[in-house]
Amino acid sequence: MSLSGKAKVAAVIGWPVSHSLSPRLHGFWLERAGIDGTYIPLAVAPENIHDAIRALPKLGLRGANVTVPHKEAALQAADHATDRARRMGAANTLVVNADGSITADNTDGYGFLENLRSGAPDWTAAAGPAVVLGAGGAARGVICALLEAGVPAIRLLNRTRARAEALAADLARHFPAQPIEVGEWEQRETLLAGSALLVNTTTQGMHGQPALELSLAALPPSAVVTDIVYVPLLTPLLEQAKQRGHVIVDGLGMLLHQARPGFTAWFGSEPIVDEALRSHMLGFVGR
């Protein structure tokens, strides 16, 4: 629809930003709800990120998503931050408040959990420990969300063990009652025993990357398997898990669900994630 002079404006800020699927996603919701609003990509170089974020209220924007490499800078530039953004040390969602101040939030972990809950409705946090593969920014979001949800313990496995140790030590400050046990990458197959959830946050299995080398033989049949990779939708890990009869959850929904809080705050309408949105987005997911 065409915009009026009162249109609500939000953006995604990145460098580069051309790969971002967020304009397609928010554009779908805006169109579906018939909202007088728009969501635009803004390519902002690192040296300009602070000024660009501080300009959001001055330009009358409702807020923005922030993507690589600006997530840490976005947290720094905001006036306020949610607890979950502070725990992450990074923001992906900025909301301009009525007084012109900016609140930084991080909805990546929320998106992960909402996707997991909708794809595996029988999974409960209390079901048992979760194995998390990888120790980058994505793993941080996943672990925070799982511990907030009440998962009793995390087994963290990463090719570079020191990185996993550093992440575990840092997160232990926020979650002292729930252990984050770092295991040997070479032992990853045996460490699957007794776990209720397996999450891949590494880039292995992504289009153009080799498959994750992992036999699921030791994983209890009741365990849920999820991958944050969504290109391809069915990664070799999910394929193997499906063949073994595990409940599997693909990574596309994490992208869709993490966008919901921002849309609600900026445009005043609660968007839903459904099959129509998934198939719309799949049309743009590059392979």
Annotated binding site for shikimate: 20-22, 67, 92, 108, 230, 258
How many CB atoms within 10 Å of residue 8? 18
Q: Which of 92, 204, 235, 258 binds ligand ATR (CB under 6 A)?
A: 204
Q: Are strands 102-105 and 93-96 parallel, antiparallel or unpaired?
A: antiparallel
Instruction: Please state, in angstroms and rounded to a whole number, the distance separating the CA atoms of residues 251 and 224.
Output: 13
Tell the smallest beta-carbon distance from residue 135 to ligand ATR (Å). 5
Nearer to ligand ATR, 160 or 222 (CB): 160
160 sits near ligand ATR (criterion: CB under 6 A): yes
x-or-dash pattern for ligand ATR, window 243-262, by CB under 6 A? --------------------
135 sits near ligand ATR (criterion: CB under 6 A): yes
Binding piece for ligand ATR, criterion CB under 6 A, among 40-48, 88-96, 129-137, 233-241? 129-137
x-or-dash pattern for ligand ATR, window 108-127, by CB under 6 A? --------------------
The region that residue 51 occupies, defined by phi over 0 for left and psi between -120 and 50 for alpha, beta otherwise, is alpha
Indicate which residue of 6, 8, 71, 242 is catalytic.
71
Task: Considering only the C-alpha atoms of the chain, give the largest distance between any 2 of them, rounded to a whole number of Å.
Answer: 61
Instruction: Please state, in angstroms and rounded to a whole number, the distance separating the CA atoms of residues 88 and 106.
Output: 7
Q: Which of 16, 69, 136, 150 binds ligand ATR (CB under 6 A)?
A: 136
Binding piece for ligand ATR, criterion CB under 6 A, among 55-63, 128-136, 231-239, 241-249? 128-136
**Cβ contacts of 90 within 8 Å, gap of 6 or more:** 71, 72, 74, 75, 106, 137
Would you call 71 a catalytic residue per the annotation? yes
- Among residues 250, 254, 257, 255, the alpha carbon closest in space to that of 273 is found at 257
Angle between helices 108-119 and 137-149 (to 10 degrees): 60
Strand intervals (E) in 190-253: 197-200, 224-227, 247-249
Tell the smallest beta-carbon distance from residue 236 to ligand ATR (Å). 13
Tell the smallest beta-carbon distance from residue 215 to ligand ATR (Å). 15
Burial class (CB in 10 A: 0-12, 13-18, 19+), 208: exposed
203 sits near ligand ATR (criterion: CB under 6 A): yes
- For ligand ATR, the binding residues (CB under 6 A) are 134-139, 158-160, 163, 201-204
Annotated catalytic residues are 71
